């Protein structure tokens, strides 16, 4: 079975996660979940807020190299660094009548900096990693020792969502 790709026309991550989950549920008729994310900055003009359009800036679909340049220049315009975070959202569709959605702060990323000077390391597919700096240490994530992960809290937020949603589903059906 070939699936038709879901549209993502929402104005926020939860809208997009819901659109995707519903579109794929309609095709496979099985429980499914979808996640979406948006990039947000503190203290920037609304026109500079990427939100769900991380790659599509002012109507243009940027390449990874263009993204690196765009966000580096944006950080320069705001003094060399931007306080950034990812808003994550999730939608779980169990059936037509049981749809669970969530976008609480416990599934957001930790706050970090997007800086104007890229790290020398670059990983294709993840251009913003080259501009991402941990706030506490002021080190690029690429330079952090060990396996420190900014996603530890996010994982428990997602886990709690699934536990609560499945508990609700099992107790109402």
- Stretch (H or E) spanning 82: strand 81-95
Taking only the tens place, the pLDDT of each residue in 58-104 is 889 999 999 999 999 999 999 999 999 999 999 999 999 999 999 99
Q: What is the pTM of this model?
A: 0.88
| Cα–Cα–Cα angle for 40, 130, 113, rounded to 5 degrees | 40
Taking only the tens place, the pLDDT of each residue in 116-155 is 999 999 888 889 999 999 999 999 999 987 655 556 568 8
Looking at the predicted structure, is the pLDDT value of residue 50 above 70?
yes
Task: Round to the nearest angstrom and report the end-to-end CA distance of the chain.
Answer: 29
Report which of 6, 53, 12 is spatially closest to residue 25, judged by C-alpha positions: 6
Question: Structurally, how many domains does the chain consist of?
Answer: 1
Instruction: Tell me whether residue 118 is in a domain.
Output: yes
The encoded tokens of residue 152 equal 């530890």
Instruction: Tell me whether residue 100 is in a domain.
Output: yes
Looking at the predicted structure, is the pLDDT value of residue 111 above 70?
yes
Report which of 50, 52, 37, 54 is spatially closest to residue 89, judged by C-alpha positions: 37
The boundaries of the domain holding residue 132 are: 13-146
Give the residues across from 140 on adjacent strands.
133
The CATH number of whichever domain residue 133 belongs to comes to 3.90.950.10
Mean pLDDT across the chain, nearest whole number? 93
């Amino acid at each position: 079975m070939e699936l038709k790709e879901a549209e993502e026309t929402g104005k926020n991550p939860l809208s997009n996660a819901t659109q995707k989950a519903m579109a794929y549920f309609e095709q496979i008729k099985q429980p499914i979940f979808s996640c979406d994310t948006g990039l947000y900055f503190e203290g920037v003009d609304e026109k500079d807020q990427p939100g769900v359009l991380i790659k599509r800036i002012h109507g243009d679909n940027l390449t990874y190299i263009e993204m690196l340049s765009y966000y580096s220049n944006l950080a320069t315009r705001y003094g060399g660094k931007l306080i950034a975070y990812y808003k994550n959202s999730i939608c779980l569709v169990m059936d037509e009548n049981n749809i669970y959605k969530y976008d609480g702060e416990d599934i957001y990323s930790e706050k970090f900096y997007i800086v104007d000077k890229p790290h020398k390391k670059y990983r294709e597919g993840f251009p913003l990693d080259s501009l991402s700096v941990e706030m506490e240490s002021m080190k690029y994530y690429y330079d952090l020792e060990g396996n420190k992960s900014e996603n530890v809290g996010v994982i428990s937020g997602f886990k709690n969502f699934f536990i609560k949603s499945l508990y609700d589903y099992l107790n109402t059906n």
